[in-house]
Amino acid sequence: MRRRWHWVLSPLLLFFSAALWAVEAGYRNFLGMEFVTIEVGEPYFMGSCRGSYVDHALALAAGIKTAPPCLSGAEEDEDATDNELPQHEVRLSEPFQMGVFEVTLGQFSRYLEALGSGVRTTEFQQANQHGSRAAVSGVSWNAAQRFIQWLNINKPIEDQGHYRLPSEAEWEYVARAGSVARFGFSESSDELIQYAWYDKNAYDLGQHYAHEVGKKQPNVWGVYDMLGNVWEWTADCWHINYRGAPKDGRPWLENCEGDEHPFRGGAWPFYARNERVAFRYYSSAAYHNELGLRVVRALPVAVRTAKNSTHSPPPTSPHRR
């Protein structure tokens, strides 16, 4: 009888231990923004690949030196665009905390209220009429940076972290969550409706707006809405491909293509192919349509130093809702 109870309780203990680990490893700030700690260690393959191993073999036979297109071992992606190439290895240098949710209207409104009246344009108000828990929409890269600057200035003294936008490499690392599949959870978009707001379950149904965060399934690292809902700005400046990209995951800020910045993740009006984890696009720092943000909290130096000896990603997180 004791063995039977032990057999029943062990999975429960494992479940609650994983849940407790996620809470202890996370953080909740003065705006109620929740963060989960992302450990680093093993490298991952960023971007997409096109072509096939047959093409590679033929090229070698013809005396042309070339690398296999899919370094990760993933299937080639017929939807891959030139700016997702070449697929390349990245090893993030430091652990960090990623926002569990996209920044909400309620959180962004705290910043707007601090600025005073007259800062909400009619266009912004029209894009944000669906409650304080909806992802904020209509945010330019410049406005995202000002919001983050305000966070860092106004955080309480006990908050020793530093807020910023994620780099493209950090964003894709979390979106993939250890997977090489096109959508993270799968090669196919068949299950996308469970994870994302996009054209089929939003725009095509007349829901032309950003939805409440956290209503879809999270990825296996416990992060919600990495795909769909609103596009998410990254810290990098725009480059037309990954040739020469940093290999340590830092923001790529050299040799920029003008005053343009990449955004990731897709949004509610877009097709499934635009929701792939490797898909990337760009716009000027002042553009804002269907654009929002997700914030990274850089860990305090003491915590970062202690964690640099840890080389495992977060465990699968239980559904938070």
pTM reported for the whole predicted model: 0.84
Half-sphere exposure of residue 275, counting CA atoms within 13 Å on the CB side?
30
163 lies in some domain? yes
Taking only the tens place, the pLDDT of each residue in 170-212 is 999 999 999 999 999 999 999 999 999 999 999 999 999 999 9
Instruction: Please give the residue that has the higher pLDDT: either 140 or 15.
Output: 140
Place of tokens 């997180």: 317
Predicted local confidence at residue 140, as pLDDT: 97
Predicted local confidence at residue 21, as pLDDT: 37
Residues constituting the chain:
321
Check which CATH number belongs to the domain holding 245 and give it: 3.90.1580.10
17 lies in some domain? no
Average pLDDT of the chain, as a whole number: 86
Q: Burial letters for 91-124: b for 16+ Cβ neighbours within 10 Å, e otherwise?
A: ebebbbbbbbbbbbbebbebbbeeeeeeeeeeeb
38 lies in some domain? yes
DSSP per-residue string spanning 205-255? GT--SPPBTT-SPP-TTS---SSSSSEEE-SSPP-SS-TT--SS-----SS
Which stretch of DSSP H or E encloses residue 303?
A: helix 301-307
63 lies in some domain? yes
Task: For the chain, give the longest Cα–Cα distance.
Answer: 70
Q: Which of 26-30, 68-72, 269-273 has the lowest mean pLDDT?
A: 68-72
Q: Does residue 17 have a pLDDT over 60?
A: no
* Band of residue 120 on the pLDDT scale cut at 50, 70, 90: confident
End-to-end Cα separation, the chain, in angstroms: 34
Q: Structurally, how many domains does the chain consist of?
A: 1
Q: Does residue 2 have a pLDDT over 50?
A: no
Strand 96-99, strand 34-38: pairing: antiparallel
Predicted local confidence at residue 56, as pLDDT: 54
Tell me the residue range of the domain where 44 lies.
Answer: 26-307
Mean pLDDT over residues 31-55, rounded?
Answer: 86
Give dist(CA 321, CA 315) in Å, integer.
Answer: 17
- Kindly report the backbone phi and psi dihedral angles of residue 176, in degrees, each rounded to the nearest multiple of 5, phi listed first: -75, -35
Predicted local confidence at residue 168, as pLDDT: 98
Q: Does residue 53 have a pLDDT over 90?
A: no
CB count within 10 Å of CB 315 equals: 16
11 lies in some domain? no
254 lies in some domain? yes
Are residues 284 and 256 in contact, defined by beta-carbon separation less than 8 angstroms?
no
76 lies in some domain? yes
321 lies in some domain? no
Mean pLDDT over residues 62-84, rounded?
Answer: 79
